[in-house]
Structure 1
């Protein structure tokens, strides 16, 4: 905790990127059994040392191979799902799918088994680094594109094996840190993947997970057959989000088409972040085309376009601040629901921005926090309790469209951790702007035009 402002040094990320949209969650009121923590137990030759994360299908643990002491990651199917043969089949299908593809930029799974008591699990390589979702945004394009190119290589290998991932997003792209080499990338979580089999069996038919709405291609939303171009679309959404700090379509493209009152189309990324080359903007917008035939035909074609767009900028240092970034460093980016317990399951990630709050205590450093609900009247600062008192003045620097703008505001609302859990959001404070400048109003209209004319400050309860 921090004195004076009482804002956390490590603000909670409020994005809903880990949430899967499931038919079951929308059609039943059944409450799932609480997760079972197997920390300390031994499965086969693997002792589970620490829980890393949990999702709809299973829990991931850091484990130690008892014979040689090697560290691995073990994914365990939730016990309450183990009685369903179709779900067990889908759980094991993930391991088989990954090994069928076998690519350096896809996480390696090297053991699969069942322990006494009907505990199903598979064992993966242990990776040091962070998910792409945990890097500070926006990520410089010169640093991002090499990682995207590696993702394209992995997708090309999968697509050539007849496998479509269908749930690409920042949490499923893991940036591995190296001591002497540039960071590299692994594609994770093929639990939603569809493999085209000779007998036309859809291996996901037994499962309930369809994908993550904000990253799903329009044809996937519509329940139509998908191919590798759906993964290209999802990777483009991911690239847009990581490079600009906001999604091209806040609710997903199909939702925008259905709900928007005017034309639907994302702003070119270089409009939001001027340092992005316009050529890269064109590449991403093509990959985001509504019709799959208007996108790049293959992942390698998409890769070639990405690299060509950055060719004049290759002098930039291709390093990422992984080691110095105050973010969690889990061993595996298969954190399917680490944040989902505090987030709604049927919405897409809200738009987010960054602000540096200036503390008044002499010698105190600035505090960087994440912001949501930006409008012409104010915004919501995601921070930890205890909060600044109501009507406290806050001075902060807001990063909008690649530009820093100085702001002042007054705290007008508190959302504590109990309310945040109930409303599926991050705790924090609503702040009303004090005498916003013309430049601030102009930037808000540019980056968030659909809310540029709305009333200010703390989000209404209906949105929380």
Structure 2
């Protein structure tokens, strides 16, 4: 068993034909009696089937029926959770930008097909080793909000419900998860990058929720004066603006900003 949550459990398995490792996410029997849980599981499968980015965990099969109930067969990502890395290390600005480019690339593809993740956080990002260091991969779409082609945005969330992980949620998501937009996921990415560099959060505790709703986040200060550092500070500040209209409108805009910083520094 690789992990367990409120909706399902994830197992490590091997394919019979070639021995390749896969991850199998199975809906808990207790959750399977809930229409909402079943629909969220189906939605996760639908979302994953639409995505091809190397920065998103791939789905191979969606199974229903005996003996497993409902199950997602996904690629097994052999790496380290970003949340575990955060416990022992901080990122340089250069590495934080690399992390941001990877995560935003995945989020941008989601948004291009009408998916808002709503739970971008370090626990949902795995760093897969590669010859150049590591490669960020996003997983767990259970809380995503999906707009399917030709339909209104679908929602299983009750009005005024807060869905997500509080320290990484945008202010509007704290008030009502149905109000999230593409910029809400941008806020979550900005929070991750803020923590990557500083080791802290823009708003530290649950007691700061009122501040998050009424005030702007603490400015990121890197202690560097070079063009790359100052540009990164401005990008994080914009991603964490309290009003959605003052942030990047979507992940692609912030991705373009960060890749432009790297090109300029080069």
C-alpha separation in 2, matches of 1:229 and 1:181: 30
**Contact 2:8–2:25 (CA<8 Å) still a contact in 1?**
yes
Aligned to 2:154: 202
**Contact 1:82–1:118 (CA<8 Å) still a contact in 2?**
no
Q: Considering only aligned residues, what root-mean-square deviation do their CA atoms show, in Å?
A: 2.6
C-alpha separation in 2, matches of 1:116 and 1:205: 29
1:255 aligns with 2:209: yes
1:125 aligns with 2:82: no
**Contact 1:192–1:209 (CA<8 Å) still a contact in 2?**
no
Q: Secondary structure at the match of 1:101?
A: coil
- Where do residues 52-71 of structure 1 align in structure 2 (5 Å cutoff)? 52-71=2-21
Q: Which of 163, 172, 185 is the matching residue for 1:219?
A: 172
**Contact 2:213–2:242 (CA<8 Å) still a contact in 1?**
no
Q: Secondary structure at the match of 1:250?
A: coil
Q: Provide, for residues 93-122 of structure 1, a one-character-per-residue CA deviation record: whole Å limited to 9, x for no partner.
A: 101111113322111011111352563211
Q: CA deviation at 1:203?
A: 3.9
1:79 aligns with 2:29: yes
Q: Secondary structure at the match of 1:210?
A: coil
Aligned to 2:61: 111
* Structure 2 segments unaligned to the other structure (5+ residues): none
Q: Taking structure 1 as reference, are residues 306 and 252 closer, same or farther at Cα in structure 2, changes over 3 Å only?
A: farther
C-alpha separation in 1, matches of 2:113 and 2:124: 20
Q: CA deviation at 1:85?
A: 2.8
Q: Taking structure 1 as reference, are residues 146 and 118 closer, same or farther at Cα in structure 2, changes over 3 Å only?
A: closer
Aligned to 2:236: 284
**Contact 1:287–1:296 (CA<8 Å) still a contact in 2?**
yes
**Contact 2:44–2:141 (CA<8 Å) still a contact in 1?**
yes
1:184 aligns with 2:135: yes
C-alpha separation in 2, matches of 1:258 and 1:278: 24
1:309 aligns with 2:254: no
Could you tell me the TM-score, scaled by structure 1's length?
0.52
Q: Give the paired residue count.
A: 259
Comparing both chains, which one has the higher relative contact order based on Cα–Cα distances under 8 Å and sequence gaps of 6 or more?
Answer: 1
Q: Taking structure 1 as reference, are residues 141 and 258 closer, same or farther at Cα in structure 2, changes over 3 Å only?
A: closer
Aligned to 2:96: 144
Q: Provide, for residues 254-286 of structure 1, a one-character-per-residue CA deviation record: whole Å limited to 9, x for no partner.
A: 7142799xx653132315x88981221111011
Higher helix share: 2
**Contact 1:215–1:252 (CA<8 Å) still a contact in 2?**
no
Q: Taking structure 1 as reference, are residues 287 and 259 closer, same or farther at Cα in structure 2, changes over 3 Å only?
A: closer
Q: Which runs of 4 or more aligned residues in structure 1 lie more than 4 Å from their structure 2 counterparts after TM superposition? A: 273-276, 310-314
1:98 aligns with 2:48: yes
Higher strand share: 1
C-alpha separation in 2, matches of 1:201 and 1:241: 31
**Contact 2:162–2:175 (CA<8 Å) still a contact in 1?**
no
Q: Taking structure 1 as reference, are residues 264 and 105 closer, same or farther at Cα in structure 2, changes over 3 Å only?
A: closer
C-alpha separation in 1, matches of 2:37 and 2:57: 22
Could you tell me the TM-score, scaled by structure 2's length?
0.87
**Contact 1:58–1:75 (CA<8 Å) still a contact in 2?**
yes
Aligned to 2:113: 161
Q: Provide, for residues 328-383 of structure 1, a one-character-per-residue CA deviation record: whole Å limited to 9, x for no partner.
A: xxxxxxxxxxxxxxxxxxxxxxxxxxxxxxxxxxxxxxxxxxxxxxxxxxxxxxxx
Q: CA deviation at 1:298?
A: 2.5
1:172 aligns with 2:124: yes
Q: CA deviation at 1:159?
A: 0.9
Rg (Cα) greater in structure = 1
Q: Taking structure 1 as reference, are residues 225 and 143 closer, same or farther at Cα in structure 2, changes over 3 Å only?
A: same
C-alpha separation in 1, matches of 2:196 and 2:188: 12
* Structure 1 segments unaligned to the other structure (5+ residues): 1-50, 315-464
**Contact 2:51–2:58 (CA<8 Å) still a contact in 1?**
no
Aligned to 1:299: 251
